[in-house]
Amino acid sequence: MGAIEPREFLLLAPEIFLAVAGMVVLAVGSIGRGLAHRTTALISLVSLAVVGALVLTVQGPAVGGEAILAGMFMIDGYALFWKGIFLLATALTIVLSMRFVEEGGYPAGEFYALLLFATTGMLFMASGFNLLSIWISLELMALSSYILAGYFKRERRSNEAALKYFILGALSSGILLYGISLLYGATGTVQLTELAARLPAAMAAEGMLVSLGWLLLAIGLFFKVAAVPFHVWTPDVYVGAPTPVTAFLAVGSKAAAFAILVRILYQGLAPLLVEWQIVVAAVAVVTMIWGNLAAVTQSNVKRMLAYSSIAHAGYVLIGVLAATEDGLWAVLFYMLAYSFITLGTFATVILLERREYAGETYADYAGLARRSPFLAAMMLIFMLALTGIPPTGGFFGKVYLFAAAVQSGWTWVAVVGVLMSAVSLYYYMGIVVYMYLRDAEDDTPTPLPSRLLAGAIGLCAVITVLLGILPGPIVELAKASLLQLP
């Protein structure tokens, strides 16, 4: 470990700026009670834009890969790609939240500040190159998320969601940490490259410690990506949390967890490839089956989407498991597409939530095509994309993932994926059937209460379709953002 140059801190300017911006938002929110809603949202959006610019200008030149602060963080193309996803997801989440937060009557500053803090954690996670820094960033994100889930604190369901998320999150965090401690004991390091270098020797000497260590670590990460059987928190939290928060959890949290899962597995645990591939395969298969089947009989749309998000975690795990270049860029592409699709879906759900929790059951979607053809069409696009039907980004995402798995010899896992995609058609199209073929109880047109929100939905839909028609540029971008493979 050499001396640390001040320049290395400069490279973290985006993350530092975002943390400061979060505190500013918190302060502004508590000072100006009346006008805080719009102001704080605006500040948050602007600072996200600044962070985006900073990421490009400050970290962009280091895209070739530069480890900083004694190997604590890594600035590389892989990190940048994820940071792009996180920033876009957070910005869209803020747009989705504005009306919701305003109507909820809770302090807005706290909400946006927590979102920014969570995003800071996510940015750090993307760059994290040391189990310590990764874990701290993960906790920063998780703690913010717990509070966000319980943001409607006078609402029983919101509180219950926070409670469940917190207890299970803390448990998983403990498991993950225990795993790290065992790995540390076996190798004497928590820095990923050193870990990879020392693992073969450690395997020979302390095989049991290493095996338990990496497994517990992986279980902690499986919890965050909502893989079965560590997914149990997901449905309740997704249903109970305020819907924009649900969207944030389903996209941001999950993406960040995948970012570190891939980095740890590929870079830190590379010597254990054969061992973790089997575990990931098993988890992926169980996740796809359980997630898709459990979604079939849901009557609540948010709950269905929760199980769908579990199922999608399973699909992404297929790409992770391939451990090839094709698998990796497929994961990156899929997460990007999935982010827009999911955000668009939740944005549509938000638009329909007129009172507290209305607009959540399938029945609330009856005759939507008549009441609001725009929303119905958008929802149709998103449902097609989630099922993986062309011409949507979801289609190519799945094709790439499954193809990568087949190429690397995991055909049977891909087959399960395809079969389960067919099952998913059932519940996604359930919504479409309600929207287009059932009659609503009242035929009054649903107004579009917010043009901004409608715009965001439209944007997501356009990107979803664009990714399905012209996936090329993003695929190229993802291919330029690969990690060194195990």
Partner 1 sequence: MLEVGTTHYLVLSFLLFAIGVVGILARRNMITVLMSIELVLNSVNINFIAFSYQLGDLTGQIFAIFTIAVAAGEAAVGLGILLALYRLRETTQLDGATEMSG
Partner 2 sequence: MLDLLWLVALLPFLGAALGAVLGPRVDKRWTTAVALGAPGLSLLLALGCIFEYVRNVSPEPFQSVCYTWSAAGFDGYMAHEGGYQRFFVYMNLFMGSMLLLVLGSNYLVTFVGWEGVGLCSYLLIGFYYEEKFPPYAGRKAFIVNRIGDFAFLVGLFALVSRFGTLDYRTIFSAVAASPEAMGEPYLLGMSFAGFVGLCLFIGAMGKSAQIPLYVWLPDAMAGPTPVSALIHAATMVTAGVYMVVRSNAIYQLAEGVSGLVAIVGALTAIFAATIGLAQTDIKKVLAYSTVSQLGYMFLAAGLGAYSAAIFHLGTHAFFKALLFLGSGSVIHAMGGEQDLTKMGGLKERLPSTYRTMLIGTLAISGVPLLSGFFSKDQILAAAWGGSKPLWVVGWLTAGLTACYMTRLLLLTFHGEFRGSEEQREHLHESPPVMTWPLWVLATGAVVAGYVGIPRLGQFDIHVFDRFLSPVLLEVGHHGEAHHASVAVELALMAASVAIAAAGIWLAWKIYGAARGLEGGRGWAERYPAVHRALVNKYWVDEAYDATVVRGTWASARGLYRFDAGVIDGLVNGFRHVTVGTSMLSGFFDKYVVDGLVNLVGWLTQAGSRVFRRLQTGLVSQYAMVVVAGMLVLVFFVVLFR
Q: Write out the residues near partner 2 by the rule CB under 8 A.
A: 163-164, 167-168, 171-172, 175, 207-208, 211-212, 215-216, 219, 223, 228-230, 232-233, 235-236, 275, 279, 290, 293-297, 369-370, 372-374, 376-377, 380, 423, 426, 445
In the list partner 2, partner 1, none, the entry touching 410 (Cβ below 5 to 8 angstroms by class) is none
CA distance 194 to 216: 19
| DSSP tag of 62 | G
Per-residue mark of binding to partner 1, 113-152 (x: CB under 8 A): -------------------x--xx--x---x--xx--x--
Helix (H) or strand (E) holding 68: strand 66-68
Do 276 and 306 meet the contact criterion of CB atoms below 8 Å apart?
Answer: no
Q: Which CB, 115 or 283, lies closer to partner 2?
A: 283
**Within 10 Å of residue 143's Cβ, how many Cβ atoms?**
18
Q: Which does 374 bind (CB under 5 to 8 A by kind): partner 1, partner 2, none?
A: partner 2
Site mask for partner 1 (CB under 8 A), range 379-418, x = bound: ----------------------------------------
Minimum distance from residue 232 beta carbon to partner 2 (Å)? 4
Residue placing its CB nearer to partner 2 in the complex, 61 or 200: 200
Q: How far is the CB of 201 from partner 2 (least distance, A)?
A: 17
Using CB under 8 A as the binding rule, whether residue 180 contacts partner 1 is answered as yes
Distances from the Cα of 88 to the Cα of 145, 337, 352, 468, angstroms: 17, 12, 23, 19
Q: What does each C-alpha distance from 44 to 31, 50, 58, 472 come to in angstroms?
A: 16, 10, 20, 32
Is 356 near partner 1 (CB under 8 A)?
no
Q: Give how far Cα 149 sits from Cα of 100, 208, 242, Å.
A: 14, 38, 7
CA nearest neighbour of 386 among 478, 460, 275, 300: 460
- Of partner 1, partner 2, none, which one sits near residue 177, judging by CB under 5 to 8 A according to partner kind? partner 1
Evaluated on CA atoms 311, 315, 317, 321, the torsion sign reads: positive
φ, ψ dihedrals at 73, nearest 5°: -125, 155
Q: Which residues pair with 73 in a beta bridge?
A: 68, 128
Binding-site member from 7, 156, 355, 451 for partner 1 (CB under 8 A): 156
8 Å CB contact between 94 and 48: yes
Nearest CB to partner 2, comparing residues 230 and 382 = 230
Tokens found for residue 342: 């999911």
Q: Which residues bind partner 1 (CB under 8 A)?
A: 132, 135-136, 139, 143, 146-147, 150, 153-154, 156-157, 159-164, 166-167, 170-171, 173-174, 177-178, 180-182, 184-185, 188-190, 235-236, 239-240, 298, 303
